[in-house]
Amino acid sequence: MSAVEVTQVNKIFNAGKQNAVEALVDVDLVVQPGEFVSLIGPSGCGKSTLLRLIANLLEPTSGSILVNGKPAKQARIDQDYGMAFQQSGLFEWRTVARNIELPLELKGWDKAKRRARSREMLELVKLGDFAKHMPWQLSGGMQQRVAIARALASHPKLLLMDEPFGALDEMTREHMQSELLQICARTSTTVVFVTHSIPEAVYLSNRVVVMSPRPGRITDIIDVELGSDRNEDTREDAAFYGRITAVREALRGVEMAAGARGIEDR
Amino acid sequence: MRLAWVTRVVLPPAVFGLVLFGAWELAVVVFNIKPYFLVPPSAIASRFVDNADLIWAAMRVSGANALIGLLLGAAFGVAMSFLLLRFRALDEIVTPLSIALNAIPIFVLVAVFNNMFAITSEVPRRLMVTLVVYFVVLVNVARGLRDVDATHVELMQSYAAGEWKILQRVRVPNAVPYFFTALKIAAPLSVITAFVSEYFGGSQNGLGNKITSNLATSKKAEGWAYVAGACLLGLAFFLIAVAIEAVSTPGGVGEPGREGG
Ligand SMILES: Nc1ncnc2c1ncn2[C@@H]1O[C@H](COP(=O)(O)OP(=O)(O)OP(=O)(O)O)[C@@H](O)[C@H]1O
Ligand SMILES: [Mg+2]
């Protein structure tokens, strides 16, 4: 059974009206369990839209989406996935621990069980001493780690992330990438990851999905094949650069076609 | 830390006040200002002490009107905010109207209310305070319930939460700082409205009446002593609002719109 199965999906915003936007056209994508897949492409090509469709925060205009073998809506109701955004989206009136416990609270877990799990998650993201802090007492990188801990709190099989490191500085970002890989390996989580950064996509992913805008579609899927034990040395590997070049060329094709911008070359 | 708070928050206004009163006192003496024009603070203070019982009685009349109006207005304002959230169509009519009414001095309406009740009734004044407070609370709390972080709502949906859970876990906590902002504006405003309402007729027992009647009979220092009483009452209401906020937001006092992320 695939973790995610997107079949012939189209998404038109404001369909039938004057301001209709063809956000996605004929999108097919299958993600296998344990896989790390990145979506990359110029601004406005529909990366966030595709992720929201998988999360069932949006309904497709046509086509079908299965998550863990169920319709996306059922998967959402069963809380089969965790989600993280560019803004950490922490609730500023809740402590760090109670932020992580929110999805569990809504699942109806009792307090002792929630406490135990939030402690476990805080250890996982190396913030064991910050349970009682308020979100604004943490740095941006720490807040993002809390958001990831929250997304992983119910041990979902699938993690959906929309530019989660987009607002972080380069150093923190690389550090968080390595941590995310370790966490996902340890918890064998499947990830669909939206990013603007080519090196980030290559470093993290088993496959990089390249998209083009107007209308949004998948133009290329690039296998990364850097093995499963990636570390800081991987970033200096010739194979790593080779894959970066491959993704860049695929994107260049997209940009030539669309005259679009918005890809970071870092 | 306590000491730092005292030097930072309490000291500057206290010093400013002392300097101001000192200059006032000095000016009255040095320029030989006549008492019918301006009385010195020392005279006001001594009249305040002499008439403490009478001032306290007047403060209780105006204070009770302000308090009752404040509580009712806040309750109706909060209740209406929830109704507006539930019925969006109503919102589109009521909100622009509230904002417009909020911008004009509607307390003149008390003259209309006075005609509707017995001459000695305190109801028109309380009604007036209720109305003024209601709009302040409504405009702020409605915004707090509505303007929530889009990411928070999407997260809640990803947790399979419906509108009711979103209201409970996102909208209400988001509106809490807006409510306290409204309360800090409304509390002193309720006092001002209560005693300004007294200028439009009715019983001659509140601070507003005492100020005018004393000033009119050339008892300037007494008039000023009642003004001081009015200041104390407004300040007390504001400080109580601040204290309630501090007690009920243990995570730290915040302003609306402060970002967590
Ligand atoms: N709610 C909406 N209503 C109307 N149009 C929308 C909506 N959300 C997205 N769009 C449009 O759909 C297209 C794809 O948007 P989307 O946010 O998925 O792009 P993206 O690839 O995530 O871009 P970015 O890299 O800038 O985040 C854009 O043209 C956008 O204007
Ligand atoms: Mg996006």
Domain regions of chain B by residue span: 45-248
Average pLDDT (A102-122) is: 92
Position A95 in a domain: no
Contact B261 A88 (CB under 8 A): yes
CATH match of B45-248 with 1.10.443.10 = no
Instruction: Report DSSP letters for chain B, one per residue.
Output: -HHHHIIIIIHHHHHHHHHHHHHHHHHHHHTT--TTT---HHHHHHHHHHTHHHHHHHHHHHHHHHHHHHHHHHHHHHHHHHHHHH-HHHHHHHHHHHHHHHHS-GGGGHHHHHHHS-TT-SHHHHHHHHHHHHHHHHHHHHHHHH---HHHHHHHHHTT--HHHHIIIIIHHHHHHHHHHHHHHHHHHHHHHHHHHGGGSS-S-SHHHHHHHHHHTT-HHHHHHHHHHHHHHHHHHHHHHHHHHHHH-TT----TT----
- Looking at the 3D structure of chain A, how many domains does it have? 1
Percent of chain A with pLDDT over 70: 95
Query: What's the pLDDT score for residue B148?
Result: 93
In a domain, A181, yes or no: yes
Report chain A's mean pLDDT, rounded to a whole number.
88
Q: Model confidence at A262, in pLDDT bands (50, 70, 90)?
A: low
Domain assignment of residue A234, given as a range: 4-80+156-265
**Is A89 in Cβ contact with B149 (below 8 Å)?**
yes
Tokens encoding A142: 């720490």
pLDDT higher than 80, residue B196: yes
Give residue-wise pLDDT tens across range B52-80. Answer: 888 898 889 889 999 999 999 999 999 99
Quickly state the pLDDT bin for A39 (edges 50, 70, 90): very high
pLDDT in tens, A156-189: 889 999 998 888 888 888 888 888 888 888 888 9
Identify whether A208 is part of a domain.
yes
Three-class SS of residue A116? helix
Residue A259 lies in a domain: yes
Residue A111 lies in a domain: no
User: Is residue A84 very low, low, confident or very high in pLDDT (cuts 50, 70, 90)?
Assistant: very high
CATH number at residue A242: 3.40.50.300
User: How much is the pTM?
Assistant: 0.82
pLDDT score of A35:
93
Q: Is the pLDDT of residue B81 over 60?
A: yes
Q: Is B189 exposed, middle or buried (0-12, 13-18, 19+ CB in 10 A)?
A: buried
Q: State the distance from the centre of ligand 1 to the C-alpha of B20, rounded, in angstroms.
A: 59
For an interface test with A, give the residue of B148, B152, B157, B158 to mutate (most A CBs within 10 A). Answer: B158
In this predicted structure, which of A13-22, A63-72, B64-73 has the lowest mean pLDDT?
A13-22
| A183 lies in some domain | yes
Looking at the domain assignment, is residue A180 inside a domain? Answer: yes
**Interface A-B: count of C-beta contacts within 8 A:** 69
Mean pLDDT of A26-34: 93
pLDDT at residue A29 is higher than 90: yes
Q: Tell me, using a 6 A CB cutoff, whether residue A23 lines ligand 1.
A: yes
Chain A residues whose CB is inside 8 A of the B144 CB are none
Contacts of A85 in chain B (CB under 8 A): 151, 154
Q: Residue A165: inside a domain, yes or no?
A: yes
